[in-house]
Structure 1
Amino acid sequence: MNNTTKGVLFALFATMLWSVNMVIASGLKGHIPPVGLAFWRWTLAYIVLAPFAIKSTIKSFKIVKKHIRYLCITAVLGITIFNTLIYFAGKTTSAVNLSLIAISIPLFIVVLSRIIFKEKVSNIKIVGIATIITGVLVLISKGSLQAILHINFTIGDLLMLVACFFFAYYTILVRQKPEELTTKVFLFSVFFIGTIVLLPFYMYEHIYYQKVIFDTKTVLVTAYVGICASLISYYLWNEAIRLIGTSKTALIYYLIPVFSGILAYFFLNQAILPTQIISMAIIISGLFISNKN
C-alpha cells in the first residue's frame, strides 16, 4: 500500500469516527456541561495513551522542551479550544447551522496552506471544492433555497466559526511538526498540555455552573469521544496530513455529513431522503474532481 492510499484511508477512518461522534452527540445536549465533557474526553485520551508513550516522552524530554512553544500553541488550539467551543456552540445553535459552518474548515485549511506553504490551488480543485459545497448545501437545506435564506445565526454560530478556524490552523501546525518529535510523543505532549490548560476552566464550571454526573450515559459517551473521537482519530488525522498533505486531507472532512447521514439511518432510524442521496453523490463527485492532478 503506497503512502497516498494509506493517507486517504487514515483520513477517511478519522472522519468516520468523528461522524459517529456527531450522531451520538445528538442526544447529549444538556446532559454533560461543555467544559466538563472536553476535560474528561482529553483526560481519558491521555490516560489510555500513557502506557504506550510515557517512556518515549521521558526519553525525548529534551526534544519536547526544545519545541515546547510549538507544542503549547498546537495543544491550546487543537485540544483546549476547538472541541470546547463546539460544545458551547451546540448549546445555542442548531445542527443545521453547525453543518453549514463546518464547511469552512477545509476552506480555511486550503487558504492557509496557500498562504503558508504556497500550495497551488488549481482550477480543477476550485471546481471540486465548489461542487462539494453545493452538495453540502443541498444536504443541510433538503434541496430548498428558502431554508438557506431563512437561517438565523446566533452567538453559537460565531463560536463554531472560530472553532473551525482553530482546527484548520491546528491542521497546518501538525504539518510543521518537527521530524524529531514522533507521533506518539507529539500526541502525548499536546493531550497533556491541552488538558492542563482546561483544568481551571473545568473547576470553575464544576463549582459555579454544572457538575458532571457520571451515570452510564456519561461514561459510555466519554469513553467513545475520549478513545475513538480523540486518541484514534487525531492519530489517524495527523498521519494523513503527513502522508498526503493538508489540502487533500482537509477535503475528506467533507464526508462527515455523508457518514453521519448513513449512521443516523442505521442507528437512529432516521430516514434517508432523496435529497440526501443526491447530495452525497455530489459531495463524492466533488472529492474525485478535487483530487485529480
Structure 2
Amino acid sequence: MQVKTRLFNNKIAIWHFIAVLTMCVWGTTFISTKVLLQYGVSPADIFLLRFLQAYVGILFVSHSRLWCGRLQDELLMLTLGVCGGSLYFLTENTALRYTLAGNVSLEVCTAPLITALLASLIRKERLGWRLWGGSVIALAGVSLIVVQSNVTFHFNIVGDLLAISAAILWSVYQLLTNPMTEKYGILFTTRKVFGYGILTILLYMFFAGSSVPQWADLCSSIVIGNLLYLGIIASLVCFMTWNKVMRRIGSVNSANYIYLNPVVTVCFSSIILHEPITLSTIMGGAAIIGGVYLTQYSPKSSLRIKKNK
C-alpha cells in the first residue's frame, strides 16, 4: 500500500515539475514578444504567426476528427480559442506596447486568484477570509505597480488594464479546459484552441483593417528565432503539456504556478531588455505572489481541492 502511495505521489510530483518548466518557458515569452514588437511586428501578427506554426505542428498527430459531438461543445471550444488564444494574446501582446514586460507578467499573475474567485462563485461556496485577505493583498500589489508605472515611468494605464483583462481571460480558459480535455482528449482540445484562435484573430484583423505582415519585416534572424520559439516551444509543446497538467492536478492547483511567470520575466527582462527593477516592482510583485500564496496554498483554504485520481 505504501509503495502504491509513493508511486502515485511520484507521478503527481512529475506533473508539478512539468508545470514549473512550462511556466518558466511562458515567463520568457513576454521577452520574445517585446523583442518582436520592437522589430515592428504587430500584436495580432505575432499571435497569428505563433499559432499557425503550432496548428500545423499538431495536425501531424491530431487530424482524424474534425468536429465535436455536440454543438454546445463546439461553442465551448470556440470560447477556449478566444479566452486562451486570440483575445488573451491580443490583450497581453498589446499591453507590452504600453508598459514594461515585468509589469505585464506581474499583473497576469493575478490569474490564479481570479480563477479561485470564479471557481468559488460557480460552486456557490462561501468565500473565506483567506481568499478575501489574499485578494486585498494582491490588489494592493497590482495598484503599487500601476501607480509606479504611471508616476515614475509615465506609462499609459491602458497597458495595465489590458494585462489584467488578459488575466481574467486566462482564468476562464483554466476553468473551461478540464471538461473538454476529459471528454475529447488533450490533443483534440489543444488543436481546437489553436484553430479557433487563428480563425477569430483573422476575423479581428479583417474588421480592424490590419495589414498582412510584410515578409521583409520577418527576414531578420532575431525575428525568425523568436517566432519559432513562440510557435513551436511556447505554443505547440507548452499548450499540450499545460492541458495535461491541468487534467492531472486540477485547474485551480495548476493555476498556482502562474506566479512563477513574473519571477522569470522580471529577471530576463532586466538582462535582455534592460528594464529597471525598482523597489516598487519588488514590493508589488511580492504582494501579488503573497496574496496568491495565501489563497491557494493554505491547508485550511476552502478552495483547496483533492488530487485527481
Q: Specify the alignment match of 1:113 in structure 2.
A: 119
Quick one: higher RCO (CA 8 Å, sep 6+), 1 or 2? Answer: 1
Q: Specify the alignment match of 2:251 in structure 1.
A: 246
1:174 counterpart = 2:182: no
1:67 maps to which of 53, 73, 81? 73
Aligned partners of 2:27 and 2:105 also within 8 Å: no
Q: Distance in 1 between matches of 2:81 and 2:115?
A: 18
Which range moved further: 93-102 or 214-223? Answer: 93-102
Which range moved further: 158-167 or 128-137? Answer: 128-137
If the length of structure 1 is used for normalisation, what is the TM-score? 0.78
1:259 counterpart = 2:268: no
Superposed, which structure 2 residues align to 1:1-293 within 5 Å? 2=9, 4-31=12-39, 32-55=41-64, 57-58=65-66, 61=67, 63=69, 67-95=73-101, 97-118=103-124, 123=129, 147=148, 150=151, 153-177=156-180, 179-202=182-205, 204-206=209-211, 211=214, 213-215=217-219, 216-264=221-269, 290-293=296-299
Aligned AA for 1:116? I
Unaligned runs of 5+ in 1: none
Aligned partners of 1:7 and 1:240 also within 8 Å: yes
Q: SS at the partner of 2:254?
A: helix
Aligned residues: 283
Shift of 1:17: 1.0
Shift of 1:101: 2.9
Which range moved further: 89-98 or 166-175? Answer: 89-98
RMSD value, Cα? 3.5
Unaligned runs of 5+ in 2: 1-7, 300-309
Q: Distance in 1 between matches of 2:171 and 2:186?
A: 19
Question: CA, structure 1 residues 91+263, in 2 after alignment: closer, same or farther (shift >3 Å)?
Answer: closer
Shift of 1:275: 8.7
Q: SS at the partner of 2:69?
A: helix
Question: CA, structure 1 residues 275+159, in 2 after alignment: closer, same or farther (shift >3 Å)?
Answer: closer
Aligned partners of 2:33 and 2:46 also within 8 Å: no
Which range moved further: 147-156 or 66-75? Answer: 147-156
Aligned partners of 2:102 and 2:266 also within 8 Å: no
Q: SS at the partner of 1:242?
A: helix
Aligned AA for 2:170? F
Question: CA, structure 1 residues 33+267, in 2 after alignment: closer, same or farther (shift >3 Å)?
Answer: closer
Question: CA, structure 1 residues 250+227, in 2 after alignment: closer, same or farther (shift >3 Å)?
Answer: same
Q: Distance in 2 between matches of 1:284 and 1:92?
A: 23
Shift of 1:179: 2.4
**Identity within the alignment, %:** 22
Question: CA, structure 1 residues 184+64, in 2 after alignment: closer, same or farther (shift >3 Å)?
Answer: farther
Q: Distance in 1 between matches of 2:92 and 2:289?
A: 26
If the length of structure 2 is used for normalisation, what is the TM-score? 0.74
Q: Distance in 2 between matches of 1:180 and 1:147?
A: 45
